[in-house]
Structure 1
């Protein structure tokens, strides 16, 4: 499902919140909110912004890491992957 970068999490939607968040983050990256090789906000910050728990945010980030949209640097944060980059 496609999400708007400005969408909100819908609690009673058929898609679980982590899938909604992954779609929203993907749309924000596509819009250019975060540039390649630059960090996205922390799990805590995203949790506050979208009123979600950290485990839910982690699941959304894991989806985007698995899809090659983001990469994680331990102790540093989560970054937007360059398109076509293997890092």
Structure 2
């Protein structure tokens, strides 16, 4: 999944994995994505790397963050 020796930065590899899971419905619309701590444990990445990946997904409109509640998959547009 994540290849530390791969050509792409770790955060972009994580973006690709999370985006694929969202597209396949593993993380359905309007449902939370796993917490930063959960993603750290699953992928063995630094907190900053995970935050950077989530920021990329937020900027592209794939996820949205609700202050005090978490990060959720954005609803699909019709």
TM-score strictly above 0.5:
yes
Runs of 4+ off more than 3 Å: none
Give the TM-score taking structure 1 as reference length.
Answer: 0.86
Give the TM-score taking structure 2 as reference length.
Answer: 0.95
Task: Give the alignment's Cα RMSD to 1 decimal.
Answer: 1.1
User: What are the ranges of 5 or more consecutive residues in structure 1 without an aligned counterpart?
Assistant: 1-7
Larger RCO, structures 1/2 (Cα 8 Å, 6+ apart): 2
User: What are the ranges of 5 or more consecutive residues in structure 2 without an aligned counterpart?
Assistant: none
Q: Name the counterpart of 1:15.
A: 8
1:62 to 42, 49, 55: 55
| 1:1-87 correspondence runs (5 A) | 8-84=1-77
